[in-house]
Amino acid sequence: MFDSWRNKKSKSTVSSDMVSKQRRYDSLVRALHADIYRFAYWLCGDKHIAEDITQETFLRAWRSLDSLKDEKAAKSWLITILRRENARRFERKQLNYSDVEQEFIEDTFSGSTEEHAEQHLLQRQISKLELEYREPLLLQVIGGFSGDEIAKILDLNRNTVMTRLFRARNQLKDVLEQPTHRGQSNG
Amino acid sequence: MDELKFRRQAYSEPNNQDPDFLNATMESAEREAFLNDLKGLDNKIERALKVDVPDDLAAKLLLRQQLQQHHSQRRKTGFAFALVASVAFLAGMTFTLLRMAPVDLSQHALAHVYHEDKALHADQNVQYQDVNFQLASLTGGQNMKFTQQPGKVFYSTYCDFQGVQSLHLVMQGEQGKVTLFIVPLEDRLVLEEAFADSKYKGMGFETDNAYMLLVGEQSQDLNFVKNEIKQTFI
């Protein structure tokens, strides 16, 4: 009798653990899936690949959710998983790299108004940034990370991160301020 | 903060809230305008980066995880089932193989006598009809019976000779008691005609349907019972 009582109790503890794990995962998905997807999109430049990477990232996150102790660190934890997933994609399909770079970014805006045109130009330009400039910018603007946090995620020195952020913005600003170059950069 | 450092910081982190940086910004209207310009650029960048997220992405992520969870649970139960099945299979095989191994009747008979010590102290005065009744229920024992009482029978019960159901009798010898095992014939049983250990002597012989094993302290007792059986047992 005692045994069956104990069994019941441990079973219910297990299932309540599962329930709380499920809840954590649910809130993780709801709170962060948009940022993670956008980060993935700007990393790889393709909607479908971005969705795949996001799926893989969250699946891996689920499997090792127990290792996430601090909920505040959830975003950088997910981004670390995502970057690893993205790198794995290149290991699998090395030829894809140049393909993706060439047909980077799809026309999601019609560009009818001037503002849209400018935004479109900016998107194209962001996608053309070297990855080493693009990635810190994504982490700063989408992720909202500080220079120190970016340095940690990218395993770089803080000064290097700052320099890259400087160059990234500098390039984007140049493009927006010299509309005459628009045709060339679009070409 | 000199101009170059200010500009570098403004470019690297326009929304920097560091007091030094904020103070440096307020040093001149030019710097403020410069920073506002960069903040404007940052707003544009932020808007540009906000590509549409597929509507059902969150639902898909949850679904995928649920399926995965479901699969791994099924895999776990499948594994458990396979484990239980192979253990059961192994147990079955072991049991079958054990049952197929040759059985040395003499050793077993001696062991059985020592083990079932109470049999030698029993005095139930069993009638041969009752013994026949027990014989009949043995596998392959349908044709065995005593035609008349073979002397006094103190004890009679079923016993197991490594999977072969047999009968365990204690009978009166010339002087002492004799234990008799009636074991239906089976291929894997090995019979010795005479055996002994420090205390008991044993003898074995074969009838048409069964092995007879006699165990007692004196050879005369064994022979006495053997003769009785030969006259009364078919």
DSSP class per residue in A4-73: HHHHHHHHHHHHHHHHHHHHHHHHHHHHHHHHHHHHHHHHH--HHHHHHHHHHHHHHHHHTGGG---GGG
Kindly list the domain boundaries of chain A, sorted by start residue: 18-104, 111-187
A102-116, B5-19, B134-148 — most confident range: B5-19
B41 and B124 part of one domain: no
CB contact under 8 A, A42 and B49: yes
Count of domains observed in chain B: 2
Q: B48 — contact with chain A (CB < 8 Å)?
A: yes
B109 and B177 part of one domain: yes
Per-residue confidence (pLDDT) for residue A77, from 0 to 100: 93
Q: Is B179 left (phi over 0), alpha (psi -120 to 50) or beta?
A: beta
**What CATH number did the domain enclosing B153 receive?**
3.40.1000
CB contact under 8 A, B12 and A162: yes
Residue B44 has its nearest CB partner, among A29, A58, A119, at A119
B215 and B120 part of one domain: yes
User: Does this model's pTM top 0.95?
Assistant: no
Average pLDDT of every residue of chain A = 80
B137 and B39 part of one domain: no
Chain B neighbors of A142, CB-CB under 8 A: 49
Q: A104 — contact with chain B (CB < 8 Å)?
A: no
More confident residue, B56 or A104: B56
Q: Please write the tens of the pLDDT for every residue from B60-112.
A: 999 888 888 877 777 777 788 888 888 988 988 888 877 666 777 888 888 88
B107 and B45 part of one domain: no
- Residue A6 pLDDT more than 60? no
Q: Percent of chain B having pLDDT more than 70?
A: 98
- What band does A56 get if pLDDT is binned at 50, 70 and 90? very high
B31 and B110 part of one domain: no
Task: Find where tokens 């310009």 sit.
Answer: B37
Please report whether residue B23 resides in a domain: yes
Chain B neighbors of A108, CB-CB under 8 A: 51-52
Please state the separation of Cα B89 from the chain's center in Å.
Answer: 9
Q: Please write the tens of the pLDDT for every residue from A16-25.
A: 778 888 888 9
B8 and B112 part of one domain: no
Residue A138 has, within 13 A of its CA and on its CB side, a CA count of 29
Candidates 1.10.490.10, 1.10.10.10, 1.20.58.2240, 3.30.413.10; correct CATH number of A111-187? Answer: 1.10.10.10
Burial class for B104, CB neighbours closer than 10 Å (0-12, 13-18, 19+): middle
CB contact under 8 A, A172 and B13: no
Chain A neighbors of B42, CB-CB under 8 A: 141, 169
- Could you tell me the residue range of the domain that residue B19 belongs to? 3-49
Determine which of A99-113, A152-166, B24-38, B214-228 has the lowest per-residue pLDDT on average.
A99-113
Average pLDDT of every residue of chain B = 85
More confident residue, A12 or B195: B195
Chain B neighbors of A165, CB-CB under 8 A: 11-13
B43 and B108 part of one domain: no
Express the helix, strand and coil content of chain A in percent, nearest 5 each: 80, 0, 20
Per-residue confidence (pLDDT) for residue A121, from 0 to 100: 87
Please report whether residue B80 resides in a domain: no
Determine which of A49-53, A90-94, A139-143 has the lowest per-residue pLDDT on average.
A90-94
Per-residue confidence (pLDDT) for residue A151, from 0 to 100: 94
- Other Cβ atoms within 10 Å of B110 Cβ, number: 21
Please state the separation of Cα B51 from the chain's center in Å.
Answer: 59
Chain A / chain B CB contacts < 8 angstroms? 91
Provide the token pair at B10: 């403004």
Please report whether residue B113 resides in a domain: yes
Shortest alpha-carbon distance between residue A5 and chain B (Å): 22
Asked whether the beta carbons of A135 and A42 are under 8 A apart, the reply is no
Final residue in a domain of this structure, among B33, B49, B65: B49
CB contact under 8 A, B65 and A59: yes
Asked whether the beta carbons of A116 and A147 are under 8 A apart, the reply is no
The per-residue DSSP string of A123-142 comes to HHHHHHS-HHHHHHHHHHHT
B26 and B125 part of one domain: no
> How confident is the model over A114-139, as a mean pLDDT?
88
B42 and B149 part of one domain: no
Spatial separation of the C-alpha atoms in residues B152 and B173, rounded to whole Å: 9
Shortest alpha-carbon distance between residue B85 and chain A (Å): 23
Q: Please write the tens of the pLDDT for every residue from A78-118.
A: 999 999 998 888 777 654 444 444 445 555 544 457 778 88
Residues 6 or more apart in contact with residue B190 via CB below 8 angstroms: B102, B103, B104, B105
B122 and B228 part of one domain: yes
Candidates 3.40.50.2020, 3.30.2140.20, 1.10.1740.10, 2.40.30.10; correct CATH number of A18-104? Answer: 1.10.1740.10
Burial class for B224, CB neighbours closer than 10 Å (0-12, 13-18, 19+): buried
Please report whether residue B61 resides in a domain: no
Please report whether residue B54 resides in a domain: no
Beta-sheet strands, E only, within B20-176:
103-104, 153-161, 164-172
Q: What are phi and psi of A58, to 5 degrees?
A: -70, -30
B224 and B162 part of one domain: yes
